[in-house]
């Protein structure tokens, strides 16, 4: 409701840093702090030494080169899936199907990576990664098309397809693509040497997937803020009806955004398989897709902050192993802290709290 | 030629001055204050209403009339002042308190649940004698006499969604009376009614008045206020300007009080000089999203340099027509020709590029993206093309320059075009949409409810811009439920009924009652001036 | 508006009936094959119907809980979390108190707490309803895993006391129907009883009218003096209670009457689909739950029977059936008009 004299407005050139919502970052930090606080209380209640536990957590996640590389390695699929979820959120829909899309991506990567011996490595890597990209995208395409064509709720259909995807992978590795030997823990055939991602730091498991993830992060940021595609996605996400009235094909944009979101999850699957696991086993990434939702939420659905958030969650994960070994803490407790962080972010970013905070700050 | 907008229709006026003698003051407001963030909606308002009185609250949109009555009804908490019911101060916190004190309110947008039956809507929130069991048949027995009294001919077990607007309004009134309302507040009751339904409403009001019910009639329409009220309180910018006896007042006096200066009640325009046909719709048939046939052999021709008004009751196909014209909905049959070219299958984007623009009915849900800046909204339909984008990369400098120019030319009051459009007032938001549709000088402009909810200043600006576009050679289609606006602005008026154009006539050869008659389904052949038949149920 | 919708629905039902009959016919013709013969044998056995009903009850309860919440306008996708936490609490409580009833009551209370959380996030804080549900689901997974590990670290499976099977005097002895329908435990019958009870409350009491009004048109309801947020809070908490009890049913449905990690495995979402499938009324939901229960029971039996289809593909069956049903029936589904939209008390200017 602003009236009155118009200020001498300079043309506003968006700079990268002005896109980072400061409030979002602050809220994320507060949420993490709250989660740590609650975690500490729980530890004390269970008669564990919090200081020792947190020290072990730090040691395990960022203590030395090996641990750092472990953390980074763990962050890669979280970041890729998180970026996908953030992007789909911008378009107005929630892609909860990252689990299924990741599995399908891993499946495609294993199939293409395990065949075609004799291909030159760069080409083989590229093809296997591309296959994963497409597979993940296609798996996301199904619920998107179902939504457009029949109005089926995409939340439910993506979740249902998650389960279908998991069982599909199980079937494949016990059947068509299995390798001989272990009966009780079926594994797929191995990925050929030429298709594996090169290691970045010798004697660690950190692989080229990190570059893929970082590239995706930067690319997404650029697309969202500087391209017409990004603008189209934002418009459709904010008001698909007005978008249609302005001539934008909301349905197409929605489907495209979902596809890309699924492809990113597919890339996550590829990075796990081609990066270090080198063969597909049942339940190779049981919760990554769901954890990525927390990552995206904590990251305020903004690419660079999602990156930081992925690092945080990865740190918790690698540090948990050390916590269990050194401070004798059950790993599930760390899992709880992760979830508590998510709940804290949910509360902190809710409209009520935000408006409360704005009013306290004496804002407009 | 000038046509007065808002001129009083028939000369139904009060035959005698209203007298306070022998009446109780059923409602008194002393110094009511109500604030919202950034604005004082009610600024120390005083008001006194007597039993059996029809008291009008007159003012522009945003003057604070609805807010005031919502405070009385308990929907808002007052920030200052007191309310007295029958001379006793009361503390109203919820609508339940208000209802218990005998206050009933019929809102501008009906508070009825379409999926529930009439009875269910009326008894909602009440405790039956055998609480918690619903005893709908008992309630029906008590409601039926009221329904008969007020001429509601629908069976009480019918779902409200299937009633006409006039019938729904009667349900709302019965709802209030069933709860023992002795003070009835009507918020813009005629906004959605046909002229004939308005007459029926006025008769109903008279009946209530004779029964001793006090009625508060909120409106921004001068002629109606003059016709029905005993006294009128004019509000402006949250405060009371004056309270006068209707018997003594004139349209000019009231208008001046409303706006604060002598108001030219006319839309100035030169004679229309139409050039050839610009957009033609031939034998259009189309269904809406529920699969109901909404356009049934519709034919319409828009001429360049002419303002074509479309009058009709909501739901007779206007929405669907505009959607098919803009490519938002497919035609089952028929064609749309633009300058002779068949664009029936062109996409919305293609039509916009070709010079067909529209102002949608609902600026918040269809016209603007509230979370984006004014700049983004101004360029919402062109941001992907040069000069605002080069091969997918957005060109911010060009965007900002254009946005600056547009905010200047269209008098959009915003500190900078970079702020979120949601922070603008309703009038300025509408100007953003107007700017967007006009700046590239389109060949066709379709305006749906272009001045709904706007104050006189903004509405008049938009009218002037539309006339300017017409003079430039644009073919304009105006769809509005404000018949005053259509009569005042159009060169040619068509009436739509059940998906067909009933009649098209120059504005000089038609009038309000003729249009009202046709809107209700009357045939052009029947002599206008005969009392029209009963309003048929909504399709 | 009249005429087209019922006609479409009638046509759709006709089509699906036709499809069902065609499938049955196909099966009969294929009875020579292992798969066809296998399915027929399974379908014909009374134990199958029994198992289907047992599998359907947790879904039914969860879906009924979801219905209460949805009718008030709050999407309840946190059903999965309420079910899982309810199951865990039912197991531990009935084990501790050595009584299945204690488990049931505790599960209801636990579900109410989860409901309270969900209500707090979505109603008071006005957070996105879907994100809140996802967060609670993750929370349930983590919390139950942690709790299970803490309390039953030994890894030995302890069966908690379960509900006894009732045998209804005369009806229980009937040939097919006896085993299939009349010899269940009391929880099953309570679940079935909930259907007409809920129907009555929703459509014949003023509580039900108030609840539905809040979901259809909260603004209108508030002008009638109804406290929208309070009704929604109560609805979500109540839905948590019922969904929590579904967790108890889940434990009881497992053969060993015990809990394991992620026992619900997505059934909360299937229940959510059942609400849509049942078109937001208790009777329809019953049919939805039965359909999905059938899928569940069929898949287990097919595995045991050994029909030559890899078991992993069979595991997909319930989810695929749900997906297909969802797509087929979502077309004209109109839920409560204000579903999913947070409500603000005072209109801002």
d(CA B321, CA B329): 9
Contacts of A40 (CB under 8 A, 6+ apart): A50, A54
- What is the distance between the alpha carbons of residues A274 and A127, in angstroms, rounded to a whole number? 11
Helix (H) or strand (E) segment spanning residue B142: helix B136-149
Beta bridge partner(s), residue B47: B29
Distance (Å) from the alpha carbon of A124 to chain B's nearest alpha carbon: 31
C126 contact residues in A (CB cutoff 8 A):
350-352
In this predicted structure, the answer to whether residue B45 has a pLDDT above a threshold of 60 is: yes
Chain A closest-CA separation from residue B443 CA (Å)? 17
* Residues in chain A closer than 8 A to B38 (CB atoms): 1
> Is the Cβ of A200 closer than 8 Å to some Cβ of chain C?
no
Q: CATH number for C37-329: choose from 1.10.3470, 1.10.1660, 1.20.58, 3.40.50.
A: 1.10.3470
Count interface pairs A-C at CB distance under 8 A: 130
Helices (H) and strands (E) in chain A, counts: 15, 0
**Chain C closest CA to A201's CA: distance in Å?**
33
Instruction: Name the residue in chain A with its Cα closest to that of B326.
Output: A245
Of the partner residues B381, B413, B419, the one whose CB lies closest to the CB of residue A247: B381
Q: How far is CA A38 from the centre of its chain?
A: 25
The answer to whether the CB atoms of C135 and A96 lie below 8 A apart is: no
Query: C226, B125: Cβ pair inside 8 Å?
Result: yes
Q: Measured between alpha carbons, how far is C165 from C178 in angstroms, rounded to an integer?
A: 13
Candidates C210, C213, C348; nearest CB to B36 = C348
Domain ranges of chain A: 70-314
Which spans in chain C are helix H? 4-29, 34-44, 46-71, 79-97, 100-119, 129-151, 175-181, 186-204, 206-216, 218-223, 228-253, 267-277, 282-305, 311-315, 317-330
Tell me: the pLDDT tens digits for A216-239?
A: 999 999 999 999 999 999 999 999
Q: Of A200, A226, A229, A204, whose CA–CA distance to A213 is shortest?
A: A200
Using the beta-carbon criterion (under 8 Å), do A4 and B413 form an inter-chain contact? Answer: yes
The residue of chain C nearest to residue A170, with distances taken between CA atoms, is: C312
Residue C33 pLDDT > 70, yes or no?
no
Whether the Cβ atoms of residue B93 and residue C222 lie closer than 8 Å to each other:
no
Which residue among C134, C146, C310 sits closest to A293, beta carbon to beta carbon? C134
DSSP 8-state secondary structure symbol assigned to residue B18: -
Would you call B348 and A245 a contact, using CB atoms and an 8 Å cutoff?
Answer: yes
Distance from CA of A171 to the nearest CA of B (A): 42
Beta carbons within 8 Å of C41's beta carbon, 6+ residues apart? C305
Flag if A151 and C145 touch (Cβ within 8 Å). no
Enumerate residues 405 to 464 of chain B having a beta carbon within 8 A of any beta carbon in chain A: 407, 413-419, 423-425
pLDDT of the residue at A17: 40
CA C144 – CA C152 distance, rounded (Å): 11
Give pLDDT tens digits for B182-211. 999 999 898 778 777 888 899 899 889 888
Asked if A249 reaches chain B (Cβ–Cβ under 8 Å), the answer is yes
Q: Which residue has the tokens 């979120």?
A: B420
pLDDT band at B328 (very low <50, low <70, confident <90, very high): very high
Residues 6+ apart with CB under 8 A from B10: B227
Q: Which residue of C has its CA nearest to A297?
A: C131
* Residue B539, both tokens: 């399709």
From first CA to last CA, the distance across chain B in angstroms is 38
Helix (H, G, I), strand (E, B) or coil at B445: strand
Residue in chain B lying closest to A7 (CA) = B415
Nearest CB neighbour to B417, from listed A9, A229, A242: A9
Comparison of pLDDT for A228 and B289, the residue scoring more: A228
pLDDT of A1 reads 34
Contacts of A338 in chain C (CB under 8 A): 142
Q: How do residues B333-342 score in pLDDT, each as one tens digit?
A: 999 999 888 9
Burial of residue B348 (CB within 10 Å: 0-12, 13-18, 19+) is buried
- Using pLDDT thresholds of 50, 70 and 90, give the confidence band for residue B424: confident
Using CA atoms, how far apart are residues C13 and C30, in angstroms rounded to an integer?
25
Cα–Cα dist A307/A315, whole Å: 12
Q: Are A332 and C142 in contact (CB under 8 A)?
A: yes
Structure tokens that stand for C180 in this block:
């299939």
Strand, coil or helix: A91 = coil
Q: Please answer yes or no on whether A335 and C327 come within 8 Å at the CB atom.
A: no
Cβ contacts of B366 on chain A, cutoff 8 Å: 241-242, 245
Q: Is the ipTM value over 0.95, yes or no?
A: no
Asked whether residue C38 carries a pLDDT value surpassing 90, the answer given is no
Cross-chain Cβ contact A248/B401 below 8 Å = no
Q: Is the dihedral of CA A167, A173, A176, A182 positive or negative?
A: negative
What's the pLDDT score for residue C155?
Answer: 60
Residues of C in contact with B131 (CB under 8 A): 206
List the B277-287 sheet strands across, edge first: B293-303, B277-287, B333-338, B341-342
Question: DSSP H helical segments within A195-302, as ranges?
Answer: 209-226, 228-238, 240-245, 250-272, 288-298
Inter-chain residue contact C225 with B94, CB threshold 8 Å: yes
- Mean per-residue pLDDT, B484-497: 89
Q: Pick the residue with more confidence: A250 or C127? A: A250
C-alpha–C-alpha distance, residues B1 and B72, integer Å: 44
Please give the class, per CATH, of domain A70-314: mainly alpha
Chain B residue closest in CA terms to A13: B396
- Per-residue pLDDT at C217 exceeds 50: yes
As a whole number, mean pLDDT of residues B436-454 equals 91
Q: Where are the alpha helices (DSSP H) in B310-380?
A: 318-325, 348-354, 374-378
Q: How many Cβ atoms are within 10 Å of A181's Cβ, its own excluded?
A: 8
Give C-chain residues touching B114 at CB under 8 angstroms: 216-217, 337
Residues of A whose CB is below 8 A from C125: 347, 350-353
Tell me: cis bond preceding C338? Omega within 30 of 0 counts: no
Residue C83: the pLDDT is: 93
- Placement of tokens 């094959």 in the chain: C33
Q: At what angle do helices C317-330 and C282-305 cross, to 10 degrees?
A: 150
In terms of Cα–Cα distance, which of A15, A4, A84 is closest to A306?
A84
CB-closest option in A14, A242, A247 to B396: A14
More confident residue, B246 or A255: A255
Q: Do residues C250 and C264 touch, judged by C-beta distance below 8 A?
A: yes
CB-based contact B113 C216, cutoff 8 Å: yes
The whole-number average pLDDT for the span B39-52 is 89
3-state DSSP assignment of residue A162: helix
CA dist., res. B406 & res. A6, Å (int):
13
Give burial (CB, 10 Å; 0-12/13-18/19+) of C105: buried
Give backbone dihedrals phi and psi of C36, rounded to 5 degrees, phi first. -60, -50
CB–CB contact B394 A228 (8 Å): yes
- Whether residue B132 is preceded by a cis peptide bond, meaning omega within 30 degrees of 0, is yes
Show residues of chain B in contact with A301, CB under 8 Å.
Answer: none
> What is the spatial distance between Cα C69 and Cα C232, in angstroms, rounded to a whole number?
7
Of C136, C265, C310, the CB nearest to A174: C310
pLDDT at C281 over 80: yes
Asked whether residue C308 carries a pLDDT value surpassing 60, the answer given is yes
Q: Would you state the pLDDT for residue A2?
A: 36
A36: left (phi over 0), alpha (psi -120 to 50) or beta: alpha
Find tokens 């004496």 and name the residue. Answer: A362
Tens digit of pLDDT at every position of chain A (364 positions)? 333 333 333 333 434 444 445 666 677 677 778 778 887 888 888 777 888 878 888 888 888 888 888 899 999 999 999 999 999 999 988 888 999 999 999 999 999 988 888 888 888 899 999 999 999 999 999 999 988 888 777 888 888 899 899 989 988 887 777 776 556 667 778 888 778 888 888 777 888 889 999 999 999 999 999 999 999 999 999 999 999 999 999 899 999 999 999 999 999 999 998 888 888 888 788 778 888 888 888 788 889 989 998 998 898 888 877 777 777 777 777 777 777 877 877 777 677 776 776 666 654 3
**Could you say which DSSP state residue B286 is in?**
E
Measured between alpha carbons, how far is B152 from B137 in angstroms, rounded to an integer?
Answer: 18
- Closest Cα in chain A to C261: A332
- The whole-angstrom separation of Cα A248 and Cα B22 is 65
Whether chain B has a CB inside 8 Å of the CB on A227: the answer is yes
Q: Token pair for residue A73? A: 């390695």
Mean pLDDT across the stretch B428-456? 90
Q: What number of other Cβ atoms are within 10 A of residue A186's Cβ? A: 20
Q: How far is CA C95 from the centre of its chain?
A: 24
Residue C323 to residue A160, Cβ atoms within 8 A: yes
Chains that touch B (3 or more CB pairs under 8 A): A, C
d(CA A194, CA C93): 55
Adjacent-strand bridge partners of B298 = B284
**Which band of pLDDT confidence, cut at 50, 70 and 90, is reported for residue C37?**
low
**Does B320 score more than 80 pLDDT?**
yes
Extended strands (E) in B304-402: 306-311, 333-338, 341-342, 356-359, 389-390, 393-394
Radius of gyration of chain C from Cα atoms?
A: 21
Domain boundaries, chain C: 37-329
User: Which position has the higher pLDDT, C183 or B69?
Assistant: B69
Three-class DSSP category at A275: helix
Say whether B369 and A238 touch across the interface (CB within 8 A): yes
In a mutagenesis test of the A interface, which of B37, B359, B366 is the best target, namely the one with the most A β-carbons within 10 Å?
Answer: B366
């Amino acid at each position: 409701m602003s009236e009155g004299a118009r200020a001498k407005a300079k043309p506003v050139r968006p700079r990268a840093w002005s896109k980072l919502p400061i409030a979002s970052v602050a809220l994320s930090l507060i949420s993490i702090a709250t989660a740590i606080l609650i975690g500490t209380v729980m530890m004390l209640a269970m008669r564990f030494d919090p200081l020792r536990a947190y020290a072990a957590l730090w040691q395990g996640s960022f203590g030395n080169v090996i641990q750092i590389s472990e953390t980074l390695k763990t962050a890669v699929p979280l970041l890729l899936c998180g970026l996908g979820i953030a992007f789909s959120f911008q378009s107005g829909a929630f892609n909860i199907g990252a689990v299924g899309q990741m599995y399908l991506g891993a499946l495609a990567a294993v199939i293409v990576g395990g065949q075609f011996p004799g291909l030159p490595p760069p080409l083989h890597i590229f093809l296997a990664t591309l296959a994963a990209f497409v597979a993940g995208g296609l798996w996301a395409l199904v619920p998107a098309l179902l939504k457009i064509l029949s109005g089926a709720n995409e939340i439910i259909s993506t979740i249902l397809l998650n389960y279908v995807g998991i069982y599909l992978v199980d079937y494949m590795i016990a059947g068509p693509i299995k390798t001989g030997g272990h009966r009780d823990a079926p594994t797929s055939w191995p990925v050929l040497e030429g298709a594996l991602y090169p290691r970045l730091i010798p004697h660690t498991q950190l692989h080229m997937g990190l570059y893929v993830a970082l590239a995706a992060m930067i690319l997404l940021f650029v697309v969202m803020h500087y391209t017409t595609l990004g603008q189209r996605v934002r418009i459709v996400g904010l008001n698909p009806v007005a978008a249609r009235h302005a001539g934008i094909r909301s349905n197409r944009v929605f489907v495209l955004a979902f596809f890309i979101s699924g492809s990113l999850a597919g890339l996550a699957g590829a990075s796990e398989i081609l990066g270090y696991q080198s063969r597909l086993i049942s339940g190779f990434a049981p919760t990554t897709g769901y954890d990525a939702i927390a990552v995206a939420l904590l990251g305020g659905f903004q690419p660079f902050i999602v990156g930081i958030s992925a690092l945080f969650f990865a740190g918790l994960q690698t540090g948990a192993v050390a916590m269990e070994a050194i401070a004798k803490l059950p790993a599930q407790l760390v899992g709880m802290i992760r979830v508590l962080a998510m709940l804290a972010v949910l509360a902190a970013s809710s409209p009520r709290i935000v408006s409360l905070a704005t009013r306290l700050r004496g804002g407009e | 030629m000038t046509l007065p907008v808002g001129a009083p229709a028939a000369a139904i006026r009060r035959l005698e001055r209203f007298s306070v003698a022998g009446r109780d003051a059923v409602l008194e407001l002393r110094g009511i204050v109500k604030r919202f963030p950034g604005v004082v909606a009610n600024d120390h308002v005083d008001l006194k209403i007597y039993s059996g009185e029809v008291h009008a609250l007159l003012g522009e949109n945003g003057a604070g009339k609805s807010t005031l009555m919502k405070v009385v009804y308990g929907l808002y908490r007052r920030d200052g002042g007191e309310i007295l019911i029958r001379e006793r101060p009361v503390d109203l916190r919820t609508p339940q308190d208000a209802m218990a004190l005998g206050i009933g309110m019929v809102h501008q947008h009906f508070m009825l649940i379409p999926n529930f039956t009439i009875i269910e809507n009326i008894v909602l929130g009440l405790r039956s004698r055998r609480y918690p069991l619903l005893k709908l048949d008992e309630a029906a027995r008590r409601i039926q006499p009221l329904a008969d009294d007020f001429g509601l001919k629908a069976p009480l077990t019918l779902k409200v969604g299937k009633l006409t607007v006039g019938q729904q309004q009667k349900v709302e009134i019965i709802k209030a009376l069933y709860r023992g309302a002795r003070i009835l507040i009507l918020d813009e009751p005629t906004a959605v009614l046909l002229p004939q339904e308005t007459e029926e409403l006025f008769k109903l009001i008279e009946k209530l008045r004779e029964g001793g019910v006090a009625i508060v009639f909120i409106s921004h329409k001068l002629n109606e206020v003059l016709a029905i009220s005993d006294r009128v309180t004019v509000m402006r910018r949250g405060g009371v300007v004056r309270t006068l006896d209707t018997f003594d007042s004139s349209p000019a006096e009231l208008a001046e009080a409303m706006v604060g200066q002598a108001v030219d009640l006319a839309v100035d325009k030169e004679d229309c000089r139409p050039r050839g046909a610009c957009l033609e719709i031939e034998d259009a048939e189309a269904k809406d999203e529920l699969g109901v046939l909404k356009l049934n052999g519709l034919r319409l021709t828009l001429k360049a340099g002419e303002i074509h008004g479309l009058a009709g009751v909501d739901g007779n196909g206007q929405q669907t027509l505009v959607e098919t014209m803009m490519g938002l909905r497919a035609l089952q049959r028929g064609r749309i020709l633009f300058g002779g070219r068949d664009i029936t299958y062109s996409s919305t984007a293609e039509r916009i590029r070709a010079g067909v623009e529209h102002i949608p009915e609902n600026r918040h849900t269809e016209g603007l993206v509230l979370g984006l800046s004014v700049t983004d909204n101004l360029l919402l339909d062109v941001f992907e093309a040069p000069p605002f984008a080069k091969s997918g990369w957005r060109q911010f400098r060009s965007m900002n320059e254009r946005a600056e120019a547009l905010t200047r030319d269209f008098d959009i009051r915003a500190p900078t075009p970079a702020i979120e459009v949601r922070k603008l007032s309703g009038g300025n938001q509408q100007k953003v949409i107007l700017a967007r549709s006009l700046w590239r000088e389109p060949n066709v402009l379709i305006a749906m409810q272009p001045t709904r909810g706007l104050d006189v200043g903004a509405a008049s600006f938009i009218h002037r811009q539309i006339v300017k576009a017409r003079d430039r050679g644009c073919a304009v289609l105006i769809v509005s439920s404000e018949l005053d606006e259509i009569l005042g602005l159009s060169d040619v008026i068509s009436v739509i009924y059940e998906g067909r154009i009933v009649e098209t006539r120059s504005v000089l050869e038609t009038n309000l009652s003729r249009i009202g008659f046709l809107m209700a389904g009357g045939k052009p052949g029947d002599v206008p001036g005969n009392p029209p038949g009963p309003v048929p149920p909504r399709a | 508006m009249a005429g087209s919708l019922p006609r479409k629905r009638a046509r759709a039902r006709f089509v699906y009936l036709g499809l069902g009959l065609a499938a049955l016919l196909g099966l009969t013709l294929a009875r020579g094959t292992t798969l066809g013969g296998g399915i027929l044998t399974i379908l014909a056995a009374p134990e199958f119907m029994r198992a289907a009903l047992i599998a359907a009850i947790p879904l039914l309860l969860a879906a009924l809980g979801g219905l209460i919440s949805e009718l008030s306008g709050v999407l309840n996708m946190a059903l999965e979390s309420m079910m899982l936490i309810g199951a865990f609490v039912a197991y531990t409580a009935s084990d501790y108190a050595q009584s299945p009833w204690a488990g049931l009551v505790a599960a209801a209370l636990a579900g109410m707490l989860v409901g309270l959380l969900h209500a707090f996030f979505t109603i008071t804080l006005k957070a996105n309803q879907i994100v809140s549900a996802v967060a609670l689901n993750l929370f349930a997974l983590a919390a139950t895993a942690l709790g299970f590990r803490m309390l039953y670290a030994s890894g030995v499976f302890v069966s908690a006391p379960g509900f006894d099977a009732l045998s209804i005097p005369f009806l229980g002895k009937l040939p097919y129907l006896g085993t299939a329908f009349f010899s269940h435990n009391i929880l099953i019958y309570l679940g079935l009883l909930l259907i007409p009870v809920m129907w009555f409350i929703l459509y014949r009491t003023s509580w039900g009218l108030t609840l539905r009004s809040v979901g259809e048109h909260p603004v209108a309801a508030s002008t009638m003096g109804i406290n929208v947020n309070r009704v929604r809070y109560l609805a979500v908490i109540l839905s948590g209670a019922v969904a929590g009890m579904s967790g108890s049913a889940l434990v009881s449905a497992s053969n060993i009457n015990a809990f394991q990690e992620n026992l619900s495995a997505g059934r909360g979402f299937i229940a959510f689909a059942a609400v849509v499938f049942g078109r937001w009324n208790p009777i329809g939901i019953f049919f939805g739950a039965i359909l999905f229960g059938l899928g569940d029971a069929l898949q287990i039996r097919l595995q045991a029977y050994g029909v030559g289809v890899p078991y992993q593909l069979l595991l997909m069956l319930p989810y695929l059936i749900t997906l297909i049903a969802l797509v087929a029936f979502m077309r004209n589904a109109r839920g409560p008009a204000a579903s999913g939209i947070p409500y603000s008390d005072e209109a801002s200017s």
